[in-house]
Homo-oligomer: A and B are copies of this chain.
Amino acid sequence: MRRIAIGQAGGPTVVINSTLVGLVKQLKDEYELRFIEDGFEGLVDEKYKVDHEETIDWIIQQEDRAGACLGSGRYHMTAEDIHAVIQFLKRENISTLIFIGGNGTMEALYKIHLEAEKQDYDLQIIGLPKTVDNDLYHTDHAPGFGSSAKYVAHSTRDLSYDLQSMKNFEQVRIIETMGRNAGWLAAASGYLKKKEFEGPHYIALPERKLCEKGLTRAVKNAVDQFGYAVVVVSEGVQWQNGSQIERAVVNGRTVLGGISDEIADYLRGKLHLTVRAESLGINQRCATSLVSSIDKKEAYLVGEVGAKWVGQNLNNVVATIQRTSEENYNVEIKPVPIKDVANSGERLMPDEFIDNLDKYYEWLSPLIEDIE
């Protein structure tokens, strides 16, 4: 019986466990499974669960909860680590490695592939996508993004109505979203806006430098017209004459955050209004109350299709989501070489969406609307 190692890595999404469950349900009767704990750190430390029936049952029961149930985390593997990983896989007779993750994960998988070749070890590798930032190339969108976009859109609408009713107490609210260097999530904040008076009145995306004058003008206009202003800013935004704001550096990875506080300080000084910075925080990637049903379905499907590829001996591929028609929303899961995804870097929002948010919202609609 072939033996497969399975892991989850990077920041969790609210549907990352659906991908795992879709995968495991397909594989469990035909293969021996090893569940790597805590992502690549666990792979290096050889920490795993074997596929006892209780473990399989337990995993299947975790589908609806937040977090990555195997443990994910962030860990930067050294060349030495990767060498040891291949030794471990050989020793354990593991012929297939499947990881669910984002850009960092795909880069790591590609390095593992190169090392396996070097050590002449015949290793099948499959990458399954997840990211709330939607910054993976070669896939129309990644599982996890739709639910987070739904969360950002709902929160912005609710926070906007809340602020409107409190405008004699507080006039400006700066909502900070996730997204790293890509604006997909921040831009989703306007998806539910139906009327001009509703927020957001200004959206700052990391793809464009933040212009102080434009921001001030937009806020002043909204306050003059409606009595209040809602600004949405992505964590990766930088001022025209500034750099990104780092909340912390952990294990060599920069955690962005804090630009909303800077904007609040700036506007307070400039306009003498009450301004509050409001970070949407980690809830963006873990709120089980706002899961998009289509996102969940696709997350599951990606796992299921990835599992089928094991038997078909597809190798070094990422399971990507491709739309099949412009008319009715429908998708196919297609293999793309891991190398291509790993080498493409972060996928930013294209100009055609940034310059025409309505076009973006049309694209986004099927990922958020709960159609069923």
Contacts and interface: CB of A to CB of B under 8 A. Distances in A.
B158 A287 contact: yes
B66 A158 contact: yes
Contacts of A170: 250
Given A74-B169, A168-B74, A287-B155, A278 B278 contact: no
Contact of A167 (B38, B159, B162): B38
Given A73-B165, A167-B71, A288-B158, A279 B282 contact: no
Contacts of A157: 66
A142 to B, nearest CB: 18
A159 B286 contact: yes
Nearest to A62: B161
Interface in A143-175: 154-155, 157-159, 161-170, 173
A289 interface: yes
A155 B74 CA distance: 23
A315 interface: no
A207 to B, nearest CB: 26
A254 B288 CA distance: 33
Nearest to A248: B274
Given A66-B157, A286-B159, A73 B38 contact: no
Interface in A95-153: none
A39 interface: yes
A12 B169 CA distance: 12
Contacts of A278: 281-282
B163 A67 contact: yes
B165 A72 contact: yes
Given A67-B162, A67-B163, A39 B279 contact: no
A90 interface: no
A167 B250 CA distance: 12
Interface of A: 8, 11-12, 14, 38-39, 41, 65-75, 154-155, 157-159, 161-170, 173, 248, 250-251, 253, 274, 276, 278-283, 285-290
Given A12-B162, A67-B162, A162-B282, 19 more contacts: A12-B165, A38-B167, A66-B158, A67-B158, A67-B161, A67-B163, A68-B165, A70-B165, A71-B165, A71-B168, A72-B166, A73-B165, A73-B169, A154-B287, A154-B289, A162-B285, A162-B286, A163-B282, A278-B282
25 contacts: A8-B165, A12-B165, A12-B166, A38-B167, A39-B168, A41-B168, A65-B158, A66-B158, A66-B161, A67-B158, A67-B162, A70-B165, A71-B167, A73-B165, A75-B169, A154-B288, A155-B287, A159-B283, A169-B251, A169-B253, A173-B282, A250-B274, A279-B279, A279-B281, A281-B281
